[in-house]
Structure 1
Amino acid sequence: MTRSARRTRHMLKVTGVGAAALLALSACSSSSDSSPSKADTSASSSPKLSGTVTVFAAASLKESFTTLGKEFEQAHPGTKVAFNFGGSDTLAASITGGAPADVFASASPKTMKIVTDKGDAAGTPATFVRNQLEIATLPGNPAKISSLKDLDKPGLKVVLCDKSVPCGAAAQKALAASNLKLTPVSYEQDVKSALNKVELKEADAAVVYKTDVHAAGDKVQGVEFPESAKAINAYPIALLKNAPDAPAAKAFIALVRSPEGQKVLSQAGFLKP
């Protein structure tokens, strides 16, 4: 065989190997393009939320949670958020008594502990906001209340939350810090009921949360007092152990704790956790 023939034969071999390599690379690329990416697989496997999330929440959360509930329903078509607002101690008793609920948002760690001690919470509750007290007076503040001690003026009708509920327990701490003893015209079972007494002009003043004064608008006038700094309440939220709709409940809790949820709560007057 001549030198020219050997060279031609060698080049044909090299060309064949290169072509085979190119075909293999093309097949690999085609296979890779046709298979779904991890992101696509993850997105397709993400379950769609549905059903009703039942939330038991402190009365002071009514306005902000109602707003968040509507946002949740819009973000997750097919879901609904049902609320039961009231005194935290009453709600805790209902939960430990077997009332069906998915989420509990309390106005104090003490009332949340009622639920956790009974083993009715799934996991550890998380503090999502804090709240501070304020004096709610009649519009224009006709009684000229400027401090906590002014609530002891003769003839002044003052309303407090019951000592068993978070707003009442906080008020007692503030009164103790001021060495003041008050005899209110009534003790109310939740903060909205206490505020309502002033709105209806059945009382001259009530010790409530700043958020409730904020929510009442021009129906009342707020008076800040320094002793309230000694009685700030932390608000914990928890998924309940036997939640009928746990996936949606977890998503609602995530919304409450998200930057978007925190913005709504902050606008309502709540303090950061």
Structure 2
Amino acid sequence: MPRIPLAPVALITAALLAVAGCGTTDRPGGDRDGTTVTGTVTVFAAASLTSAFTTIGTQFEAAHPGVVVRFNFAGSSGLATQITEGAPADVFAAADPATMARVTEAGAAEGPPTTFVRNQLVVAVAPGNPKRITGLADLTRPDVQVALCAEQVPCGAAARRALAAADVDVEVTAVTLERDVKGALAKVTLGEVDAALVYRTDVRAAEKVDGVEFPESGAAINDYPIVGLADAPNPTGAREFVAYVLSEPGRTVLTRAGFQTP
């Protein structure tokens, strides 16, 4: 039987590299530049991102079969403390730059954060707005009980900026200070208070609440930064998840949730 001459090793190697190059992609949600994401990606994210990031996490897992995205949703301030004290995480998404600064100044961030969305406050009320609340001044009425976020978390700091802009003091009627925006909203849905200052996106995602817009919310717009972490157990997963959030599919999810893009 005639023997077929073997191609030189260099030619075979070049051919294999060419084939591999045709298989790489640079699409949002896919492996970029041949990067393969594996394992678990742990994301610490502000409570107000719960609904949108849960959807993004599902899409990211679909784009990277076998990868698992695990979330820790809570008040940004508490998450920043966990990160600076060494909690293992790959990505941090905060609800304001001041909280993110605590992480970057501690040297816990891998590079500079990127602002990916913005959010504004509304007054959350029971369906039909039974107390007829039309603005921040109504929150001082003796028959209106209010829930606020604690000042240490971004939604609390934003609420106080808005109240200051309206020259309104609701401390006398605030019956509870919550650790995050989900806690403040729950007080309304459970009927424990008449109103709460929460993010517009949380009202949109919730059931059994209405939202009342007020002009002073423009004085309390929160920028949301995101960053991969310096000691990330899965640095490749961290980079790819941040890239997905910033991609067109990620932004589509966020804008549908009511967030504003920068």
Question: Is TM (by shorter chain) over 0.5?
Answer: yes
Residue 35 of structure 1 corresponds to 15
Residue 156 of structure 2 corresponds to 168
**Amino acid of the residue matched to residue 205 of structure 1?**
A
Partner Cα distance (1:254, 1:111) in 2: 21
Deviations 1:193-213 (Å, cap 9, x if unpaired)?
000000000000000000000
Residue 111 of structure 1 corresponds to 99
Residue 21 of structure 1 corresponds to none
Deviations 1:53-75 (Å, cap 9, x if unpaired)?
00000000000000000001111
Are positions 1:90 and 2:78 aligned together? yes
Residue 249 of structure 1 corresponds to 238
Partner Cα distance (2:77, 2:20) in 1: 46
Alignment of 1:1-273 (within 5 A): 35-36=15-16, 38=18, 40-41=20-21, 43=23, 46-183=34-171, 184-217=174-207, 219-273=208-262
Partner Cα distance (1:57, 1:47) in 2: 24
**Amino acid of the residue matched to residue 91 of structure 2?**
V
- Structure 2 spans left out of the alignment, 5+ residues: 1-10, 25-32
Percent identity over the alignment?
54
Deviations 1:145-187 (Å, cap 9, x if unpaired)?
0111111111211000001100000000000001111121011
Residue 30 of structure 2 corresponds to none
Partner Cα distance (1:124, 1:42) in 2: 32
Partner Cα distance (1:205, 1:39) in 2: 61
**Amino acid of the residue matched to residue 194 of structure 2?**
D
- Once the two structures are TM-superposed, the CA of residue 248 in structure 1 deviates from its matched residue by 1.2
Deviations 1:230-265 (Å, cap 9, x if unpaired)?
100000000000000011111111110001100100
3-state SS of paired residue (1:129): strand
Partner Cα distance (2:217, 2:38) in 1: 42
- Once the two structures are TM-superposed, the CA of residue 42 in structure 1 deviates from its matched residue by 6.4
3-state SS of paired residue (2:44): strand
Size of the alignment, in residue pairs? 242
3-state SS of paired residue (2:245): helix
**Amino acid of the residue matched to residue 197 of structure 2?**
V
3-state SS of paired residue (1:185): strand
Normalised by the length of structure 1, the TM-score is: 0.85
- Once the two structures are TM-superposed, the CA of residue 52 in structure 1 deviates from its matched residue by 0.3
Partner Cα distance (2:100, 2:218) in 1: 22
Partner Cα distance (2:136, 2:41) in 1: 40
**Amino acid of the residue matched to residue 204 of structure 2?**
H
**Amino acid of the residue matched to residue 104 of structure 2?**
T
- Once the two structures are TM-superposed, the CA of residue 39 in structure 1 deviates from its matched residue by 6.9
Normalised by the length of structure 2, the TM-score is: 0.89
Deviations 1:132-152 (Å, cap 9, x if unpaired)?
000000111000001111111
CA RMSD in angstroms comes to 1.8
Return the index of the structure with the highest Cα Rg. Answer: 1
**Amino acid of the residue matched to residue 255 of structure 1?**
Y
Higher helix fraction (1 or 2): 1
